[in-house]
Amino acid sequence: MNVDKLMNELEKKHTGEVEYLQAVREVLESIADVYNENPQFESAGIIERLIEPDRIVTFKVPWADDSGQVHVNLGYRVQFNNAIGPYKGGLRFHPSVNLSSLKFLGFEQIFKNALTTLPMGGGKGGSDFNPKGKSDSEIMRFCQSFMTELWSLIGPETDVPAGDIGVGAKEIGYLYGMYKKLAKENTGVFTGKGLNWGGSLIRPEATGFGNVYFAKEMLATKNESFEGKTVAISGFGNVAWGAAQKATDLGAKVVAISGPDGYIYDPEGISGEKIDFMLELRATNEDIVKPFSYEFDSAQFYEGKKPWDLKVDIALPCAIQNELDKEDAEKLISNGCMCISEGANMPCTPEAIDVIQNSDVLYGPGKAANAGGVATSGLEMTQNSMKLSWNREEVDQRLHKIMIDIHNACVENGKDEDGKVDYVKGANIAGFLKVANAMLDHGVI
Ligand code: NDP
């Protein structure tokens, strides 16, 4: 495989799809050696078949606001690869959603899902609809309109969506309700469902929990732990609160959370009622993290800033792609940060990753470190198939074990002669080999 040649061809075909091209290049560079050592991959055109989605469906989503005004958004589903199981990946509702961001997320999802050890392929979908500031009725009408197009593409053995940015329990409820009406069946086609209708305990906090479990394993390779460490987290959404909760449980002090408008620094730690308040803020659908500093005297709001200029031991970027750049990485490193573990998908820019990987800082890439969410979605699917529910401890234990197994797979495939582990390489190779071998088994299809 010649990475530059492949990338040139891909760039010509998909000019301007920046995030997607960035994600593909990162994977190709990591797996090039393993690929070239296995000529059966080249002759079967595995990489050419893997970097293009199986199909992309685009549709319009008309909906009426509360005043009767009609709006039209775009809806997408990218079914990327189903070599090891049904397509699986969340739906994102955010104004930034476009084909490039969904192709990047769907591509990443293939390897992430393979790493979980569960039988799930990769996909992603969403819309440029912004649920922020919309009433419940508007969100419901939008979700119902979106589902009138999506329902025929998905099914429990075909394609199983979940939530992502802008798609939480409420949206999944409306989407699932419409699916059930149209498909005339009550099957586990979504994950992240409500507990009363087939959801799994721990699913909401699973990505954050899993990220902390992964970071815990990385820290253990240096005889370190979360105990007594300070932690900065970006975002104050689904992933961020789970990470804040678990880091606190393990004895760390979370001193920062953030939103698009700035960050909160609280030297007394963000735990207990403060995490509950963070959840309340999130539920209001407002777009500011600032009210946190009005509520708690110890908290200070830094407008327009990112939490990466703080002196912390551990950084958990849990907000959005490309939110931590080269300068941020340099600041974290010079302030003595020892571990950066990605709760979000691709939050570090390629330049930031270069800087981090050239330092002694432990770096957990999202496709491994945030795989706990989809892993628990896989556990939700298993419970739905068995038509029973596991208790909290059972789901948490399984999630914890999966994160340890993912960490071990990264170490096995990413350790160099000096014993240093490149977790990016390890995650990409482990995920790729599983999918590529399944594709070889299935023939050219
Ligand atoms: P949420 O919408 O629940 O939370 C995202 C949070 O990030 C919000 O608080 C949002 O604030 C904030 N945010 C957005 N842009 C910025 C920015 N530029 N700087 C700081 N904060 C910002 O989404 P999730 O927590 O579900 O997802 C977060 C990330 O984790 C995404 O990359 C997602 O793909 C990834 N992920 C999520 C999984 C899951 O299970 N939910 C699984 C695996 C990965 P505001 O609401 O004000 O915009």
- Fold of the 3-186 domain: Rossmann fold (3.40.50)
CA distance 70 to 89: 29
104, 196, 198, 339 from 139: Cα distances, Å? 26, 21, 22, 38
Residues in the chain with pLDDT values less than 50: none
pLDDT at 282: 79
Q: Over the stretch 110-156, which tens digit does the pLDDT of each residue have?
A: 999 999 999 999 999 999 999 999 999 999 999 999 999 999 999 99
Residue 249 in tokens: 């449980």
Hey, whose CA ends up nearest to atom 12 of ligand 1?
A: 235
Q: Which of 78, 129, 233, 238 to mutate to test the pocket of ligand 1 (most atoms within 8 A of CB)?
A: 238
Q: How far is CA 414 from the centre of its chain?
A: 21
Residue 7 falls in which region: left (phi positive, over 0), alpha (psi -120 to 50) or beta: alpha
Q: Which of 405, 431, 343 is nearest to 112 (CA)?
A: 431
Contact by Cβ (8 Å): 131, 169: no
Hey, whose CA ends up nearest to atom 45 of ligand 1?
A: 287
Query: Which residues, other chains included, contact 106 with Cβ-Cβ below 8 Å and sequence gap of 6+?
Result: 53, 78, 79, 80, 89, 122, 123, 124
Ligand 1 centre and the CA of 213: distance in Å?
19
Output the CA angle 131-65-127, nearest 5 degrees: 40
With a 6 A CB cut-off, is 320 part of the ligand 1 pocket?
yes
Domain 206-360 class, CATH top level: alpha beta
Query: How many CA atoms lie less than 13 Å away from 368 in the CB half-sphere?
Result: 32
Domain ranges of the chain: 3-186, 206-360
CA distance 274 to 270: 6
Contact by Cβ (8 Å): 73, 112: no
Ligand 1 centre and the CA of 5: distance in Å?
34
Write out the chain in H/E/C secondary structure: CCHHHHHHHHHHHCCCCHHHHHHHHHHHHHHHHHHHHCHHHHHCCHHHHHCCCCEEEEEEEEEECCCCCEEEEEEEEEEEECCCCCEEEEEEECCCCCHHHHHHHHHHHHHHHHHCCCCCCEEEEEECCCCCCCCHHHHHHHHHHHHHHHHHHCECCCEEEECECCECHHHHHHHHHHHHHHHCCCCCCCCCCCHHHCCCCCCCCHHHHHHHHHHHHHHHCCCCCCCCCEEEEECCCHHHHHHHHHHHHCCCEEEEEEECCEEEECCCCCCCHHHHHHHHHHHCCCCCCCHHHHHCCCCEEEECCCHHHCCCCEEEECCCCCCECHHHHHHHHHCCCCEEECCCCCCECHHHHHHHHCCCCEEECHHHHCCHHHHHHHHHHHHHHHCCCCCHHHHHHHHHHHHHHHHHHHHHHHECCCCCECHHHHHHHHHHHHHHHHHHHHCCC
pLDDT at 288: 66
Q: Which of 239, 303, 399 to mutate to test the pocket of ligand 1 (most atoms within 8 A of CB)?
A: 239
What is the set of active-site residues? 124
- Sheet containing strand 87-93, edge to edge, reads 55-64, 70-81, 122-127, 87-93, 159-162
CA distance 32 to 291: 48
Q: pTM of the entire structure?
A: 0.94
With a 6 A CB cut-off, is 109 part of the ligand 1 pocket?
no
With a 6 A CB cut-off, is 373 part of the ligand 1 pocket?
yes
Q: Which of 116, 165, 289 to mutate to test the pocket of ligand 1 (most atoms within 8 A of CB)?
A: 165
**β-strand partners of 348:** 324
